[in-house]
Every structure is written in C-alpha cells, then in structure tokens.
C-alpha cells in the first residue's frame, strides 16, 4: 500500500509533464504506467513542435507556453539530457492538378491561411533548395520550417527530473480500478498494490475511457492509429529535412474515409518523408484511422496493408526510395475526442479529485509541457495561467453530477 497526494495514470508526455510540474511544486506524486515510459503515442510520433495555431487562440497560447519550456530545457539542461531542439526545413509539395483545386472550397481556405502566415506557393524551379529526386510531376511547393525535439529524451528527461524532485514512477504496473467514496477519489488499485490518493490524473491516452468507466463516466475518446516506417541507413537523396505530400486532399479533421474502397483513403495515408539527422535513415509516415485498442498491454500492432500504402506513397514522391529497404515499422494510438476533436482537460464535476488530461490528437508533444503545468495549477487550486474552460469535460454533460456511479462502475 502506497499513500500519495496525486496518482498520475499514464507515462506518455501528458502524464510525465503533469508529474514533473507537480513534483516541482512540492506535491507527493506517483505515476503509474502499464508498460514503459513513452510506450505508446508519445514514443511513436514525429516530434514536430508547433509554435502557433492560426485558427485557435487557446491552442496557440498552449503551444507557445510549451515551446518556451522546450527552449528553457534545451538551454538549461534541466532534464539531464540534450533534447535536440532544432529547426527543420519542410517542403509541402503539390502537382498542377492540386494547385488548380486550390481555387475552391476547403483547399482555397487552407491556401489563404498559409498566405496569412507568410507561406506562399512557389514553382519548383524557384524552391530555395532544389530537390532533383522529387517526382517530375510535382511542380509546386510551399517551403516552411518546424521545430523538432527528440521525443524519447524529452519523455525520459521529464521522468528523471520528476523523480529527482521526489516523484515515484512505477512502470509495468497497470491500473485496474479507481475507487470513489462520498463523491471523492480515494484509492487507485493496480496489479502490484493499492495507492491511497487525494487526486487521480487520467492521462491514459487512448485508454482514458477505460479509466473513466472505473469512476462511472463516459469519456468520448477513440484510438486513431498512426504508423511509421524506418528505412535502412542510406545516403541522403533529399535536401529538406521533411517532405510532405497529401494525395487525398482531405480535411485534416476527417483524415480517413472509413468505407472507401481505396485503401489509402480508408487508412488515411498522407506521405511524410523525414530525414533522420543522426541515424542516416529516413522515417516514412503516416496513416490515421480508428481501430480497437490492443487486447493486451500498450503494444500497438502494425498492419501490412498500411505499411504497403505508406511505402508506395513515399516512392510516388521520391521514386529512388524504391531501392531502399524498410527495417522496422511501428505504430501508436492518438487519443481523439470523437465529439469535437478537442482536448479534455480539467477536474470532472461531481467526482472530487478526478482530473482529465487527454484527447490531444495530433499535437500532444506541442501541447504536453504546458498542459502538465495547467493540470498542476488545477490541482494546486490556482487560476490556470491560460483559461481552459472550453476544454472542460462539462462541455459534454451540462451540470453533470454522478448520482449513479455505483451502477456504472466497471472494472477492467
Ligand atoms: C504516427 C504519429 C505521429 C505523430 N506526430 C506528432 C508530432 O509530430 N507532433 C506532436 O505534437 N504530436 C504528434 N503525434 C500525437 C502525439 O503523439 C500524441 O498526441 C501524444 O503522444 C499523446 O500523449 P498521451 O500522453 O496523451 O498518450 P500516450 O503517449 O499514449 O500515453 C498514455 C499512456 O497511458 C498508459 N496507460 C493506459 N492505460 C493504463 C492503465 N490502465 N494503467 C497504467 N497505464 C496505462 C499507456 O501505456 C500509455 O503509455 C503523433 C502521433 C502519432 C501516432
């Protein structure tokens, strides 16, 4: 039996960042992770960091706050390791046909947004870095940059710093139940013992609904699988660090078409070709569609059909990749809110001490550092440094009290 102020469920970026901020504020924290640190989405993503969102003010402020933390960690070395914060050049490429379609609808609006951000469509022969190996029918591009971090170092560094500040981290430990007494969380039951606790932070990513059911609430999160492939080490055949080509012309909020006969559409494949800076190989990505959670543990299985579509997409953009072998494939579950695609952050009305930090779909690494700070402020009873009422669980259930918790309790 352990006793603590806060139990954080999930050793992904959101759980780790929360544990880091709370431990630094002097709270007794235990983080419980059923596999290892960064076992799921936080260990399978590209590590691209946004600084701004042109359409959403809250996201923009959270991204800016997180980016500032990454800069501080990069400069101070506080996380005990180099987090490899760097700027990467990006080329978004388009065919003539795509540019024609940009005169209408969704893609017209996307082009206007890019224009507002100072990103302009440029003809191939005017790109600042020529790409002789990009397929000849790709005649237009938008050149931009993104920040990138080393996701494993950030996650392990946050775990290390949280522990240095007194937090306990239990890996290979699965939460089986959360007990609520008189409307307040009291105990977390794991397969390796119980934890008496005042607060529970549900940062279980795509598994957050399972933890929700333990306290009798429905959390509308679905697992959106994303897959990436690693090539063998190979001499560089591209100049931009990241090349993006979106063959589907999809709405980013509807990344796949579930009943399409075209596998690329059904699996939501967009081509991203990333040059790995230190390993001399390429990472080829990515896909997105809804699947079931893994039947056991956090290990997400890759699917042969998705691997084939991603590889074919990469070869379509850089034909020379046909001669390069894939040595590994991996996948992670993005937690996506099926109601509105937005994060769910904050304490749940009617269950004192039960706090949600989940549903960060495509941008968990950009959101994570600041989100952990906001969750820590909620637990400390402070006014959050960014107002996040619209991300609260109560947006689904107005004036929700939970008088029937005992009827809905469900143990995994
Ligand atoms: C292919 C891909 C590319 C991406 N690219 C980017 C990118 O470039 N930039 C970006 O910002 N974001 C990106 N994302 C999104 C980002 O990875 C996620 O938003 C983020 O990692 C979600 O973090 P999390 O902590 O909520 O979830 P996770 O990292 O999934 O962590 C949840 C953890 O909870 C644990 N858990 C679940 N149930 C239990 C239980 N009962 N007991 C104990 N532990 C439990 C799981 O094992 C897991 O480790 C990408 C995602 C994918 C899949």
**pLDDT value for 323:** 95
Asked whether the bond before 303 is cis by omega within 30 degrees of 0, the reply is: no
Alpha-carbon gap, residue 362 to 255, rounded angstroms: 11
- Residues whose beta carbon lies within 6 Å of some atom of ligand 1: 9-15, 32-35, 39-42, 44-48, 174-175, 203-207, 226, 228, 285-286, 298, 332-335, 358, 360, 362-366
Is residue 401 predicted with pLDDT exceeding 60? no
Question: Measured in angstroms, how far is the CA atom of residue 361 from the centroid of ligand 1?
Answer: 9
Split at pLDDT 50, 70, 90, the class of 403 is very low
> How do residues 202-213 score in pLDDT, each as one tens digit?
999 999 999 999
Residue nearest to atom 41 of ligand 1 (CA): 175
Confidence at residue 407, expressed as pLDDT on a 0 to 100 scale: 39
For residue 359, report the distance from its CA to the centre of ligand 1, in Å: 9
236-271: pLDDT as tens digits? 999 999 999 986 666 666 778 778 888 888 898 999
For the CA of 333, the nearest atom of ligand 1: 53
**Mutate-to-test residue for ligand 1 from 188, 295, 328, 334, highest number of ligand atoms within 8 A of CB:** 334
> Is the pLDDT at 412 greater than 90, yes or no?
no
The β-bridge relationship of strands 271-275 and 242-245 is: antiparallel
Low-confidence winner among 4-13, 185-194, 260-269, 399-408 (lowest mean pLDDT): 399-408
Return the residue matching tokens 């102020």.
Answer: 5
How large is the average pLDDT for residues 68-73?
98
pTM score of the predicted model: 0.94
Q: Select from 8, 32, 37, 45 the residue to mutate for testing ligand 1; criterion: most ligand atoms less than 8 Å from CB.
A: 45
Distance between Cα 221 and ligand 1 center (Å): 13
* Dist. CA 300–CA 302, nearest whole Å: 7
Q: What is the pLDDT of residues 30-41, one digit of tens each?
A: 999 999 999 999
Measure 41 CA to ligand 1 centroid, in angstroms: 3
Residue whose Cα lies nearest atom 51 of ligand 1: it is: 45
- Whole-number Å distance, alpha carbon 384 to ligand 1 midpoint, is 23
Long-range pairs for 394-400: beta carbons < 8 A, 24 or more residues apart: 394/349, 395/340, 396/220, 396/339, 399/349, 400/348, 400/349, 400/350
Domains in the chain, start-ordered, CATH in brackets? 2-82+151-220+339-408 (3.50.50.60), 86-148+223-337 (3.30.9.10)
**Which of 226-230, 252-256, 362-366 comes out lowest in average pLDDT?**
252-256
- The DSSP string of 180-222 is EETTEEEEEEETTEEEEEEEEEE--GGGHHHHHHHTT----EE
pLDDT at res. 239 = 96
Give the total residue count for the chain. Answer: 412
Q: Would you call 95 helix, strand, or coil by DSSP?
A: strand
Q: Does the pLDDT of residue 29 top 80, yes or no? A: yes
Residues whose CB is less than 8 angstroms from the CB of residue 268 and which lie 6 or more positions away in sequence, other chains included: 248, 250, 255, 256, 287, 288, 289
Q: Are 304 and 295 in contact (CB under 8 A)?
A: no
Query: Rounded CA gap, 257 and 263, in Å?
Result: 9
**pLDDT recorded at residue 411:** 34
Residue 410 pLDDT exceeds 70: no
What pLDDT score was predicted for residue 404?
A: 42
């Amino acid at each position: 039996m352990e006793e603590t102020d806060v139990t954080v469920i999930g050793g992904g970026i959101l759980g780790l960042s929360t544990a880091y901020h709370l431990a630094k504020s002097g709270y007794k924290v235990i983080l419980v992770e059923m596999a290892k640190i960064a076992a799921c989405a936080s260990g399978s993503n590209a590590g691209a960091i946004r600084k701004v969102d042109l359409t959403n003010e809250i996201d923009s402020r959270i991204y800016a706050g997180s980016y500032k933390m990454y800069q501080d960690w990069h400069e101070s070395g506080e996380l005990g390791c180099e987090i490899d914060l760097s700027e990467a050049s990006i080329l978004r490429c388009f065919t003539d046909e795509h540019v024609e379609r940009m005169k209408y609808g969704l893609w017209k609006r996307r082009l206007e947004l890019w224009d507002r951000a100072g990103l302009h469509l440029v003809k191939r022969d005017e790109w600042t870095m020529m790409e002789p190996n990009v397929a000849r029918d790709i005649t237009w591009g938008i050149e931009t940059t993104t920040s990138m971090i080393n996701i494993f170092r950030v996650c392990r560094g946050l775990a290390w710093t949280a522990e240095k500040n007194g937090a306990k981290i239990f890996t290979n430990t699965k939460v089986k139940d959360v007990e609520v007494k008189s409307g307040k969380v009291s105990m977390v039951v794991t397969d390796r013992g119980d934890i008496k606790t005042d607060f529970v932070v549900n940062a279980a990513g795509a598994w957050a609904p399972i933890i929700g059911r333990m306290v009798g609430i429905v959390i509308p999160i679905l697992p959106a699988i994303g897959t990436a492939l690693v090539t063998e080490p190979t001499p560089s055949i591209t100049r931009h660090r990241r090349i993006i080509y979106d063959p589907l012309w999809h709405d980013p909020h509807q990344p796949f078409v579930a009943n399409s006969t075209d596998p690329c559409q059904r699996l939501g494949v967009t081509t991203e070709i990333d040059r790995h800076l230190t390993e001399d190989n390429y990472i080829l990505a990515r896909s997105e569609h809804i699947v079931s959670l893994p039947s056991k543990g956090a290990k997400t299985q890759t699917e042969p059909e998705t691997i084939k579509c991603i590889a074919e997409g990469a070869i379509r953009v850089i034909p020379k990749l046909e001669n390069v072998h894939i040595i590994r494939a991996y996948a992670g579950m993005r937690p996506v809110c099926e109601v509105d695609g937005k994060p769910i952050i904050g304490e749940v009305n009617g269950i004192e001490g039960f706090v949600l930090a989940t549903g960060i779909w495509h941008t968990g690494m950009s959101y994570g550092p600041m989100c952990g700070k906001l969750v820590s402020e909620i637990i400390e009873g402070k006014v959050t440094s960014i107002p996040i009422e619209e991300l609260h669980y109560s947006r689904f259930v107005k004036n929700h009290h939970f008088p029937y918790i005992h009827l809905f309790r469900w143990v995994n």
